[in-house]
A and B are shown apart, each in its own frame.
Chain A
Amino acid sequence: MSDDTFDAIVVGAGPAGSACAYTLAKEGRSVLLLDRGNSAGAKNVSGGRLYTYALELVEPGLYERAPLQRKIVREQIMLMNDRGATTVDYFDPGFGEAVPQSYSVIRAALDEWFAGEAEAQGAMVAPGVVVDGLIEENGRIVGIRTGEDEMRADVVVAADGVNSLLGQKAGLFPDVKASAVGVGVKETIELPDELISARFGVKEGEGAARVAIGCTEGISGGGFLYTNKGSISLGIVFNPEQAGRQTRHIQDIFQDYKMHPAIHALIEGGTSVEYGAHLVPEKGYHGIPKQLSRDGFVVVGDAAQFGINTGLIIRGMDLAIVSGLAAAKAIIAAKQPADVGTLYRQQLEELLLIANQQAYQNFHGIFEISRIFREYPALANDAMQFLFRVDGKKPKPMLKGLLDIVKRNVSFGKLLGDGWKIYRHI
């Protein structure tokens, strides 16, 4: 290796980039990990959950060193209307036996840790560096440009996030389309740790993850909530195209969500310490670009649009880590840079990332049913109100009462049609 040449340059020190750099460095490869933030994670606003299996794939036991927040033992889904909410709460303290299945994480801390782990393995980490472009020679990508500097490598790994400028510059895919992404807005709200445990009915170190439907004024999207140590990550993700046609501002819709009695009681007395917005890949399997590599170049993580949203589970970080690992394994196995693309595909298959994406490949179609975001959550709450109402008056017959509620919210024709559509997409 000459001074300015690396086996790999990884652009973006998020979970995908750091997993890739960590694995390469551990195998003794020379790797340069770049991030535009002043420290890895500094530019990140993801407030979320990490499924532990992905870190286990990188190295068993690695998760034990990670700055994780709370082990998720309550999975909650909340259907909201403007007056109340119906919440399904699945409590399972043993989720994931020996290795807990998932943890809430704060990415600013997680990313800095993971990049540090990669550095400890021998990766060269340079934060505060913006990559302006790629160096191309004879149809091959041979390095990157930053300011006046050029740096060369056998392979450039683009882990530069959902709006991957490097992938676009490499000609793998066009600019992000509004229909293919969701816009997430998030606040971090600080509260005493014991109070969070009490409000969510969990023990210290354990926590809840919640998705909320019916809080987006009918826009395709939903709310989320994760409990951290001493804070709550609260936000909504919505379809930017539909939001653009709305008269109401997103911040107002988010404010309504925060002030909804079912949410407000959870965050009351807290202090908002951070807020931000970010894009998330929304199309699942069908959003993944046909081409994920070129000679000397691969895309991983959000940049490759890996993501799964079933309405109940939202996955991104785990797929990012797995894809970073897949790219590293491909680079290690490749006899020449030209082989990396094919080997990367194989690794994505072998590590079951593609199988996971395919299993939910049509779920995105379900979210085209607009009634899921307003009428059905309202229906659920009306039905609950009817079932639980006791006021001394003569109750309606049960079946008729329920049918009336259905009719009030949605026609039977639409109900049947939507049922069929959901069945088909699952």
Chain B
Amino acid sequence: MPKFLVLYKWTLDEQDIKVKSDDLSLDASRAKGKISDFDRNAIEEAAAIVEKQGGSVEALSYGTPTVKQSLKDVLSRGVDKAYWIGDASAETADAAVTAKVLAAAIRKIGPYDFILTGEGSSDQFNQQTAPRLAALLGLPCLSFVHKLEVDGAKASVARKLADCTELATVTGPAVISVLSDINKPRIPGLKQVLGAAKKPSEEIALGSLGLAAEDLQPKASRRSVKGFVMTRKNVIYKDAPADAVAKLVSSLAGEGLI
């Protein structure tokens, strides 16, 4: 019976983040939290496999103290138990720090046969957490997975690469990062939502993981985040078609586009 751990990130729902028109800064004051999109696929994949063939799914997240708000949602998605590390350091953590924290937590609560996570997070999409974590734990890492079959301790995966599909097998323990087309995450039903309230969750204090201060010091720091706006010229030629086309062509040529 495979033992899964799914790593997820509690991100802001980008749908409610606004770009201010004056300085392109982001206004996230109305944005609510959500489980990062691809991580939701990872949770679904593990839950669906366990529902079909048995086993267990636990989940783990490292985030700011607001990560606690994610428990109800994650536990209503077929997860048996959720662990969370809520610490202000997550605000500035880079992928290296995140991987170190998660690795330390997994050493404490593990071992697991398969550690699943999304290919990248909805906000940063660094795509680094899975490979870094695998390196720290000394495990194989399979990324870009869009098909997963588990048979005991063995997993067969299809990896979706730029212009081909790679089939691979791995014997756990292993780290696997999944793409969004691997499945369609469930919308939890009422009983699953109510059942979530009765499932266990456990806080892991960052201080209990034996990490040194330098482990929590990000080497890459974010200077700013700004909205991206495509500036358009908004030129409309209203002349007779022949003239308008001629003007359009000369305009495009003038820009060096044709």
Q: Which residues of A contact B (CB under 8 A)?
A: 4, 32, 34, 39, 124, 126, 128-129, 146-149, 151, 271, 273
B189 shortest CB reach to chain A, Å: 5
CA distance A191 to B243 in the complex (A): 44
Instruction: Quote the shortest CB–CB distance from B43 to chain A (angstroms).
Output: 16
Q: Which of B18, B32, B187, B191 contacts A128 (CB 8 A)?
A: B187
Q: Mark B160-189, 1 if CB is under 8 A from A, else 0.
A: 000000000000000000000000000111
A129: nearest chain-B partner, CB-CB = B190
Determine whether the beta carbon of A39 is less than 8 Å from that of B32. Answer: yes
CB distance from B134 to the nearest CB of A (A): 34
Bitwise, B185-228 to A at CB < 8 A (1) or not (0) is 00111110110010000000000000000000000000000000
Most buried by A among B18, B32, B189, B190: B190
Contact between chains at B189 and A149 (CB < 8 Å): yes
A124 touches B197 (CB 8 A): yes
Secondary structure of the B contact surface, majority rule: loop
> Once the chains bind, are A146 and B190 in contact (CB under 8 Å)?
yes
Contact of A126 among B18, B187, B194 (CB under 8 A): B194
- Is B193 in contact with A126, judged by CB distance below 8 angstroms? yes
The contact string, 1 if C-beta is below 8 Å from chain A, for chain B 66-94, is 00000000000000000000000000000
- What B residues does A148 contact at CB under 8 A? 189
- From B21, B187, B191, A149 is in contact (CB under 8 Å) with B191
Q: Which residues of the other chain, B, contact A126 by a CB distance below 8 angstroms?
A: 190, 193-194
Interfacial chain B residues near A271, Cβ < 8 Å: 21
Among candidates A32, A39, A147, residue contacting B189 with C-beta atoms closer than 8 Å:
A147
Chain B residues within 8 Å of A128, by CB: 187-188, 193
- Give Cα A126 to B191, complex, Å: 10
List, sorted by A's number, 26 A–B pairs whose CB atoms are closer than 8 Å: A4-B191, A32-B194, A34-B190, A39-B32, A124-B194, A124-B197, A126-B190, A126-B193, A126-B194, A128-B187, A128-B188, A128-B193, A129-B189, A129-B193, A146-B189, A146-B190, A147-B189, A147-B190, A148-B189, A149-B189, A149-B190, A149-B191, A151-B190, A151-B191, A271-B21, A273-B18
How many A-B pairs fall under 8 Å by CB? 28
List residues of B whose CB falls within 8 A of some A CB: 18, 21, 32, 187-191, 193-194, 197
Bound together, the chains give a CA A39 to CA B72 distance in angstroms of 13
Contacts of A129 in B (CB 8 A): 189-190, 193
**What residue in chain B is nearest A38 (Cβ atoms)?**
B32
- For B191, list chain A residues within 8 Å (CB): 4, 149, 151
Report B200 CB to chain A, min CB distance, Å: 17
A271 to B21, CA, bound (A): 10
Bound together, the chains give a CA A34 to CA B32 distance in angstroms of: 19
| Closest CB pairs A-B (n = 8) | A149-B190, A126-B193, A149-B191, A146-B190, A147-B189, A129-B190, A149-B189, A126-B190
Residues of A within 8 A of B193 (CB): 126, 128-129
Residues of B within 8 A of A124 (CB): 194, 197
Chain A nearest CB from B13 CB (Å) reads 9
Closest to B198 in A: A3
Cα separation A55 to B224 with both chains bound (whole Å): 43
From A39, A126, A149, name the one whose CB has the most chain B CB atoms within 10 angstroms: A126
Within the complex, the shortest CB–CB distance from A118 to chain B, in Å, comes to 15
> CA A32 – CA B193 in complex, angstroms?
11
Minimal beta-carbon separation of A418 from chain B (angstroms): 46
* Chain A residues with CB under 8 A of B197: 124
Give the CA-CA distance A147 to B189 in the complex, in Å. Answer: 7
Q: How far is the CB of B51 from chain A (nearest CB, A)?
A: 14
**B21 partner residues in chain A, CB cutoff 8 A:** 271
Q: Which residue of B lies closest to A148 (CB)?
A: B189
Chain B residue with the shortest CB-CB distance to A32:
B194
Taken together as a complex, chains A and B put the C-alpha atoms of A260 and B25 apart, in Å, by 33
- With a cutoff of 8 Å between Cβ atoms, the chain A residues found around residue B190 in the complex are 34, 126, 129, 146-147, 149, 151
Tell me the bound Cα distance from A32 to B189 in angstroms.
14
Q: Which residues of B contact A32 (CB under 8 A)?
A: 194
Interface centre among A4, A39, A124, A129 (most CB of B within 10 A): A129
**Cα–Cα distance between A128 and B190 once the two chains are bound (Å):** 9
| Residues of chain A with a CB closer than 8 A to B189's CB | 129, 146-149
| Chain A, Cβ-Cβ closest to B195 | A3
B20 → A minimal CB distance (Å): 10
- In the assembled complex, which residues on chain A have CB atoms less than 8 Å from the CB atom of B32? 39
Inter-chain pairs besides A4-B191, A32-B194, A151-B191, 12 sampled, C-beta below 8 Å: A34-B190, A124-B194, A124-B197, A128-B188, A128-B193, A129-B189, A129-B190, A146-B190, A147-B189, A149-B190, A151-B190, A271-B21
| Bound CA–CA A148/B186 (angstroms) | 13
A32–B187 Cα distance when bound, in Å, is 19
Q: How far is the CB of A238 from chain B (nearest CB, A)?
A: 29
Set of chain B residues within 8 Å of A39, measured between Cβ atoms: 32
Give Cα A285 to B115, complex, Å: 61
Closest to A6 in B: B194
Interface centre among A124, A149, A151 (most CB of B within 10 A): A149
